[in-house]
C-alpha cells in the first residue's frame, strides 16, 4: 500500500463494477445510506467487494432528529427535502427508523459490532453553547460498525 487514495466518483445506485470481489478491507458510508434508493443492491455490492472480516462504518441522521424536525410518525419512510440554510438548495433523503436502518444492514449478512449515538465534544461548548446543550439532550446521528463474516 502506498498511502495514497485515488478519488473515484461513482453513482451508488449502480453496481460497483470497478471493484473486484473481496478487494476492500473496509467501507465508510458517512451520511450517504439514506440517500440511496436501491439499498439492497448497494449492500449486496458492499458485501461482494469486502474481504471476509472486512468492515463497514455507516452513519445516518438519527431517526429521532428527523422526527423532531419533520413531525408525523417516527416510523415514517417518506422522502424529504431538508433546506440548507437560506439557500435554494436542499438535501433529499429518506427517513429511516432505527429498525429499518439496522435491519437492512443485518439482513444483508453483516454482523453488528458497535452502535453509537455520538455526543458533542466539550470543544463545541466553547464555539456554540446552545448547540452543545441541544446535542447533549437529543441525538442527531446514529453510527454503526459492522463486520462481514
End-to-end CA distance of the chain: 24
At residue 7, the pLDDT reads 86
pLDDT exceeds 80 at position 125: yes
- Higher-confidence residue: 137 or 2? 137
Residue that has been written with the C-alpha cell 456554540 in this structure? 128
Beta strands in 36-136 (DSSP E): 50-61, 79-83, 90-94, 111-116
Domain that holds residue 60: 24-135
- As a whole-number percent, the residues of the chain with pLDDT over 70 amount to 99
Answer yes or no: is 74 within a domain.
yes
The answer as to whether 108 is a domain residue is yes
CATH number at 37 reads 3.40.50.150
Does 92 fall in a domain? yes
Q: Is there a domain that residue 96 lies in? A: yes
Query: Kindly report the CA angle at 38 between 84 and 48, in degrees rounded to 5?
Result: 120
Domain count of the fold of the chain = 1
Task: Assess if residue 50 is contained within a domain.
Answer: yes
The model's pLDDT over 101-112, given as tens digits with 9 standing for 90+, comes to: 999 999 999 999
- Of the candidates 139, 54, 65, 123, the one whose C-alpha atom is nearest the C-alpha of residue 95 is 65
Angle of the 39-49 helix axis to the 98-107 helix axis, nearest 10: 40
Q: Considering the domain boundaries, does residue 2 fall inside one?
A: no
The answer to whether residue 6 sits within a structural domain is no
pLDDT for 1 beyond 80: no
Q: Does residue 97 form part of some domain?
A: yes
pTM of the entire predicted model = 0.89
Structure confidence at residue 92 (pLDDT)? 95
Amino acid at each position: 500500500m502506498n498511502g495514497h487514495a485515488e478519488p473515484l466518483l461513482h453513482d451508488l445506485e449502480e453496481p460497483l463494477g470497478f471493484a473486484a470481489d473481496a478487494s476492500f478491507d473496509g467501507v465508510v458510508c458517512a451520511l450517504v445510506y439514506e440517500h440511496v434508493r436501491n439499498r439492497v443492491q448497494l449492500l449486496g455490492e458492499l458485501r461482494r467487494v469486502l474481504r471476509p472480516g472486512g468492515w463497514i462504518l455507516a452513519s445516518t441522521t438519527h431517526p429521532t432528529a428527523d422526527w423532531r424536525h419533520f413531525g408525523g410518525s417516527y416510523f415514517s419512510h417518506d422522502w424529504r427535502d431538508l433546506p440548507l440554510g437560506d439557500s435554494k438548495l436542499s438535501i433529499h433523503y429518506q427517513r429511516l427508523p432505527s429498525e429499518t436502518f439496522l435491519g437492512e444492514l443485518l439482513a444483508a449478512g453483516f454482523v453488528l459490532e458497535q452502535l453509537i449515538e455520538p455526543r458533542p465534544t466539550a470543544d463545541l461548548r466553547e464555539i456554540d453553547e446552545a448547540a452543545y446543550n441541544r446535542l447533549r439532550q437529543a441525538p442527531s446521528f446514529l453510527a454503526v460498525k459492522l463486520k462481514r463474516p
